[in-house]
Structure 1
Amino acid sequence: MQKKNITAICIGLPVFLILVISIMIHASWINGFDNFFEQIVHTIPNLQGIMKKITFLADTKVDLVWMLLIAIILWIKKQRPLSLSIIITLITADAFGWVVKHIIQRARPMQHLAVDDGFSFPSGHTLGMAIIVFWLMMILIPALVKNRTTKIWLNVLLIVWLILVMISRVYLYAHFPSDVCGSVALGAMWVGIIDAIWDRVTPRTSKNNF
């Protein structure tokens, strides 16, 4: 197993489990955590318009469009293992997230918009975008980009975008801060696990032969 996968799993798994258990037992620190970051996020008023645009671009259906675009381009470039990798990673993560939602059954914040129905943990928008971001950072960018400075800038831009998605979901009262944090932890863990399995079944030479 590669170091990047071990790191993603070793960070993502414990954070995700701590949040899951704390939410299920209604740990007092979760309320404090959520209240603290909700106040920070809502410091600047009247950002609903831009936040709605950000959350639209990270909608679970739109995430599938991003995934298909990446997969199709990779397929055309004859990178079929990579193309299948992102499809399998995102679809299995969404399925797992759906199961977790219905096991925990956490209610959304009281002020949530009517369009944001269903349960709150984890955030589907954030999970889908976290999968795409971490997949690009851990798998595609290392395979495509050789310049170290370019890699750093691409990774920074992806992280900033993911943070904006997290903020938008909290700002619109669609989720609690712990929901989006749990989704990011799950995304990192999931990419690490699936890629570790993928390495077992796909030779590196055919996986990354750009």
Structure 2
Amino acid sequence: MNLSIFLSASLTLAFLIFNVKNSERFNIIDDRLHQRLIRNRDGFSWQVVAFLNDPKLMVVWAVLLASTLIDQNKYQTALWVLATLGGTDLAGIILKKLVRRHRPDLHSDMENGYSFPSGHVLGATSMALILVHLFGAKMGTGFVIGLLVIWLMVVISRLSLKAHYPSDILAATSLAIICFSITQQVFL
């Protein structure tokens, strides 16, 4: 991945962490943006999208992908897939415990734990980046657009279910890009 993308993601994540932890004004603006984004989001079962992209289920998808790669004797690539998702998830868990941001008001009782960064978006972004890297050139633009649509559905589901603030989504996306970039350099 491009160094400028890595640096942009790193600066974005640092900016978000600092402001979520230290700026009441930033958090008020983030909450107001969240309120505007969640209006009139009923009518579609976003729980289904959230379930299919649950961080625990994303691990299952990664193991299945790695198993397929092992069957094709692509051991290093399989290890990269597992390290990318595993490392990203671990970084997300650590960041959640360091920041300790509570979820937005009116979030579902099914949503527990801290909200920053979004684990669902973190996993969906990581998996999308992995799949684009592995199959994007071969499968073409339609495949990449399909992954983008799925990713957007995950983002909308997390906001619609009132589980995350917009900055949680942006932080997860930035963290996934950072971890993806690092594991690419280490494994590929």
Using the size of structure 1 for normalisation, the TM-score is 0.83
Instruction: Give the fraction of aligned pairs with identical amino acids, expressed as a percent.
Output: 25
Of 124, 140, 159, 2:134 maps to 140
The alignment yields a C-alpha RMSD, in angstroms, of 1.7
Structure 2 CA distance, aligned partners of 1:134 and 1:36?
Answer: 27
Structure 2 CA distance, aligned partners of 1:65 and 1:7?
Answer: 32
Residue 80 in structure 1 maps to residue 69 in structure 2:
no
Cα shift readout 1:167-210 (whole Å, capped 9, x = no counterpart): 101111111111011101111111011101223xxxxxxxxxxx
Residue 193 in structure 1 maps to residue 188 in structure 2:
no
Aligned residues: 188
**Greater C-alpha radius of gyration:** 1
Cα shift readout 1:110-153 (whole Å, capped 9, x = no counterpart): 2111121111101111111111111222x2125x61xxxx5222
**Which position in structure 2 is the counterpart of 1:125?**
120
Q: Could you list the runs of 4 or more consecutive aligned residues of structure 1 that deviate by over 3 angstroms after TM superposition?
A: none
Structure 1 CA distance, aligned partners of 2:181 and 2:62?
Answer: 17
1:39 maps to a residue whose letter is R
Of 126, 141, 144, 1:155 maps to 144
Structure 1 CA distance, aligned partners of 2:119 and 2:184?
Answer: 21
Structure 1 CA distance, aligned partners of 2:5 and 2:77?
Answer: 19
2:129 maps to a residue whose letter is F
Unaligned runs of 5+ in 2: none
1:167 maps to a residue whose letter is I
Give the secondary-structure state (helix, strand or coil) at the position aligned to 1:94.
Answer: helix
Residues 30, 178 of structure 1: 8 Å contact kept: no
Structure 1 CA distance, aligned partners of 2:166 and 2:142?
Answer: 26
Residues 118, 172 of structure 2: 8 Å contact kept: yes
Unaligned runs of 5+ in 1: 200-210
Using the size of structure 2 for normalisation, the TM-score is 0.92
**Which position in structure 1 is the counterpart of 2:89?**
94
Q: CA deviation at 1:80?
A: 0.9
1:181 maps to a residue whose letter is L
Q: What is the correspondence of 1:97-108 to structure 2 with a 5 Å cutoff?
A: 97-108=92-103
**Which position in structure 2 is the counterpart of 1:9?**
6
